[in-house]
Amino acid sequence: MKPYWIICLWTGITLVYTPLYAQENKRPIIVLDPGHGGVDSGAIGVNGIMEKDIVLEVAMEAIRLNRELFGNRLDIYLTRYRDTLISLNDRTRLVKVLKPDVFISIHCNQAERKAAQGIEVYVQQPKSNTNSYLRSRSKTLAEVILSEFDQALGFKIRGMKYSNFQVLRETQNICPGVLLELGFLSNWEEAEHSWRKESVRGYGMVILQGIMAKENY
């Protein structure tokens, strides 16, 4: 039988080093959720561009930038990788299974008023059962992303808003989460902007910068 102190020492070392080791090797898990897909095109731009296509391109671009510029620092999963319709239940189910560090749903806006422009970031309207720590981290994430859009891309900022979107409501107590509305496809200037490859790259970059800002994971 091993002496008691060896067992104590071994247990102590294991308890101290296992979490440290696990932490060092664990990349933050991120779920990006490109909205719509398949028969659900989402908003259709004044120039014919479709929301479902832009949001998928932005999410794929985030994966590419993470790989090529950031050495795969983040472990990114998408709720869809192709032009297919995924139910809202399946999107939230993925978050419940993966328990990521951050969840971001990506959409584009539209409005009757053709002049409406700018970026909106939504967080879940708090309820009595809302985890206040995660809620505060969601708000920080929203604010960082908005300031990146403002400073890096010079977008008009419409601000952080509260909503009751299913994908945020059902994941609010799992991880920090926000829903992005990347400009108005009903506005000529922003719809034309969204066609461009460099715009998609800019969106992808802002999302990554927002996630990687120190306090967000």
**Shortest reach from residue 106's CB to Zn ion, in Å:** 8
Give the whole-angstrom CA distance, residue 32 versus residue 89: 15
Residues 73-92 that bind Zn ion (CB under 5 A): none
Give the whole-angstrom CA distance, residue 83 versus residue 59: 12
Identify which of residues 43 and 95 has a Cβ nearer to Zn ion in the complex: 43
Rg (CA), the chain: 20
- Rule CB under 5 A: say whether 45 interacts with Zn ion: no
CA atoms within 13 A on the CB side of 74: 30
**At residue 165, what is the residue type?**
F
Give the whole-angstrom CA distance, residue 13 versus residue 6: 10
CA atoms within 13 A on the CB side of 59: 30
Identify which of residues 35 and 210 has a Cβ nearer to Zn ion in the complex: 35
- Rule CB under 5 A: say whether 52 interacts with Zn ion: no
Residue sitting closest to Zn ion (CB): 107
**Shortest reach from residue 7's CB to Zn ion, in Å:** 57
Identify which of residues 107 and 137 has a Cβ nearer to Zn ion in the complex: 107
- Rule CB under 5 A: say whether 35 interacts with Zn ion: yes
Part of the chain binding Zn ion (CB under 5 A), chosen from 37-45, 85-93, 156-164, 189-197: 37-45
Question: Is 73 strand, coil or helix?
Answer: coil
Question: Is 14 strand, coil or helix?
Answer: helix
Part of the chain binding Zn ion (CB under 5 A), chosen from 4-12, 31-39, 151-159, 171-179: 31-39
Give the whole-angstrom CA distance, residue 63 versus residue 101: 16
- Rule CB under 5 A: say whether 34 interacts with Zn ion: no
Residues 126-155 that bind Zn ion (CB under 5 A): none
- Rule CB under 5 A: say whether 107 interacts with Zn ion: yes
Residues 95 and 31: beta-carbon distance below 8 Å: yes
Identify which of residues 35 and 183 has a Cβ nearer to Zn ion in the complex: 35
**At residue 103, what is the residue type?**
F
**Shortest reach from residue 25's CB to Zn ion, in Å:** 36
Question: Which residues contact Zn ion (rule: CB under 5 A)?
Answer: 35, 42, 107
